[in-house]
Amino acid sequence: MEIFSAFAISLQSVWLDSGFSALTMGNVAMIIVGIFLLYMAIGKEYEPLLLTPIAFGCIMANFPCTGFLEEPGVMQVINYGIKFEIFPPLIFLGVGAMTDFGPLLANPNTLFLGAAAQFGVFISLAGAMLLGFTAQEASAIGIIGGADGPTAIYMASKMAPNLLGAIAVAAYSYMSLVPLIQPPIMKALTTQKEREVKMDQLRNVTHFEKMVFPVASAILISLLLPPVAALISMLMLGNLFRESGVTDRLSDTSQNALCNIVTIFLATGTGMTMNAEDFLTVQTLMIIGLGLLAFAGGTAAGVLLGKIMCRLSGWKINPLIGSAGVSAVPMAARVSQVVGQKANPSNFLLMHAMGPNVAGVIGTAVAAGTMLAMLGAK
């Protein structure tokens, strides 16, 4: 009998020390959410490079008794990378190395379309404040409308760390849903005649222009908005690597190996903020709804300004490229191309839409910097 009693005590000790004994219904619900996000990322291919590590991080965050964020180790290092804004600027280095600002330089007017698409950010900001969020939390939620995941994470880590998981999931989810969300809005706000407008071929941009742009932009924007100097400077440094012609190895590393490694850390760490206590709240549902409002508002604002520019230019600008002002590069530009080609099979808007698309990357960072300067970080 003593043997059976000792065996029972051992089993009880193993059970009490295991995660199963501390597992809550909230943890189970979040693990199911993580599995669903994995399905969306792998099965439906919605932003798989980002949503896969976010989803797995979400599952890991809901393992009880792990001490991931309390004990020294790789998980704590990843958390520090997000908490102290190390990863987003490194992602921007890779984004800069992958981005061709030529279409923007060839047609600088498209900068206004990129700026107009940031209107959705401020719509969501106002909506969040009406729903009872603080000004800092509302500003972090509003950036979802820029469709720029790294900037959304950067803002959330500074302004609303408690909402980081919900904001990141909303931002990347809507980025992946660009082909579903944007076309109905674009068609509703434009006429058949407007969608059929053909644009002239872009001029050739000189190598000198491509060299001057990142340096001048980094200096001007960083001096104007110091809070986003890290993001803009790294974005432009990456672009300088791309355009200089003498730093091919640095450009290749920035846009491939480094960007991929940092993406794994950033996305996994973001997923690990999605624990049941913080994520399963009414606020999360509000954030998802406000994110959709911001995204739709930004798309609509870009298209409406495109309509105005179409008239002012004598029907030389297709309003559809205004929707690409949200900085989901290059998906938003592809959507403009697809919708335009359905209206006129001989239309080719992709390179024209890349102008407002890359302008949107800068615009979202500027919007974030403006709110950081006005409201300050926590």
Per-residue pLDDT of the chain (378 residues; tens, 9 = 90+): 667 776 677 677 766 667 777 788 999 999 999 999 999 999 988 889 888 999 999 999 999 888 787 777 888 889 888 888 899 999 999 999 999 999 999 999 999 999 998 888 888 899 999 999 999 999 999 998 887 888 998 999 889 988 988 898 888 878 878 888 999 999 999 999 999 999 988 899 999 999 999 999 999 999 999 999 999 999 999 999 999 999 999 999 999 999 999 999 999 998 988 888 888 889 998 998 998 888 899 999 999 999 999 999 999 999 999 999 987 778 899 999 999 999 999 889 999 999 999 999 999 999 999 999 888 765
Question: How many of the other CB atoms lie within 10 Å of CB of 185?
Answer: 18
In total, the chain counts a number of residues equal to: 378
In a domain, 56, yes or no: no
Q: Which amino acid is located at 225 in the chain?
A: L
Q: Which distant-in-sequence residues (6+ apart) come within 8 Å of 349 by Cβ?
A: 199, 318, 320, 321, 336, 337, 340, 341
Q: Which distant-in-sequence residues (6+ apart) come within 8 Å of 236 by Cβ?
A: 96, 214, 215, 217, 218
What CA–CA distance (Å, rounded) separates 34 from 42? 12
Contact status, residue 96 vs residue 237, Cβ threshold 8 Å: yes
CA 115 to chain CA centroid, nearest Å: 16
Q: Which amino acid is located at 137 in the chain?
A: E
What CA–CA distance (Å, rounded) separates 157 from 291? 17
In a domain, 11, yes or no: no
What CA–CA distance (Å, rounded) separates 353 from 333? 5
In a domain, 19, yes or no: no
In a domain, 62, yes or no: no
Cα-based distances in Å from 134 to 159, 218, 275? 10, 31, 22
In a domain, 153, yes or no: yes
In a domain, 294, yes or no: yes
Question: What domain range includes position 212?
Answer: 87-375
What CA–CA distance (Å, rounded) separates 40 from 147? 18
What b/e sequence results for 29-43 when a residue is b if at least 16 CB atoms lie within 10 Å of its CB, and e otherwise? ebbebbeebbebbee
User: Quick one: tokens of 101?
Assistant: 């600002």
Q: Which distant-in-sequence residues (6+ apart) come within 8 Å of 7 by Cβ?
A: none
What CA–CA distance (Å, rounded) separates 98 from 257? 13
Total domains in the fold of the chain: 1
In a domain, 258, yes or no: yes
In a domain, 63, yes or no: no
User: Quick one: tokens of 131?
Assistant: 């729903």
H helix intervals, 18-109: 25-38, 48-61, 74-83, 87-98, 102-106
Q: At what angle do helices 350-375 and 119-130 cross, to 10 degrees?
A: 40
